């Protein structure tokens, strides 16, 4: 992981749109940062299996070397220890590399 991480929090009632994800990606690129965490209370738009809407922008950013973890309010609420944070980030990185999005339910 990069030593510089940009975090943006959106405590919105609905999933974050593709436009807002693009803005976040632009902020990362403007600062030459290749890693960001988007805390979206209710996730992001699009179908993770088809990589549509905001999911597509996460995937395209990865192609350019920009890694974005999407973390929900429920995921944050479940964290109790530093170990939990590490495990969540490992899971997000695995999901990003395997499925090209870090916001997806896996069994």
Q: Is the pLDDT of residue 107 over 80?
A: no
The verdict on pTM exceeding 0.85 is: yes
Domain spans of the chain?
6-99
Task: Report the mean per-residue pLDDT for the chain.
Answer: 92
17-46 residue pLDDT tens: 999 999 999 999 999 999 999 999 999 999
What pLDDT, on a 0 to 100 scale, did the predictor assign at position 50?
Answer: 87
Cα 83 to chain centroid distance, Å, stands at 19
Q: Which residues of 33-47 are buried (b: 16+ CB within 10 A; e: fewer)?
A: bbbbbbbbbebbbbe
Q: Is the pLDDT of residue 106 over 70?
A: no
């Amino acid at each position: 992981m990069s030593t510089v991480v940009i975090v943006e929090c959106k405590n919105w009632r609905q999933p974050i749109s593709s436009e807002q994800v693009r803005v976040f990606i632009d902020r990362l690129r403007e600062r030459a940062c290749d890693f960001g965490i988007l805390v979206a209370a209710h996730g992001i738009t699009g179908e993770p299996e088809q990589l549509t809407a905001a999911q597509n922008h996460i995937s395209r950013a990865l192609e350019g070397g920009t890694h974005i973890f999407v973390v929900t309010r429920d995921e944050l609420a479940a964290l109790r220890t530093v170990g939990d944070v590490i495990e969540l980030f490992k899971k997000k990185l695995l999901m990003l590399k395997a499925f090209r999005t870090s916001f997806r339910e896996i069994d």
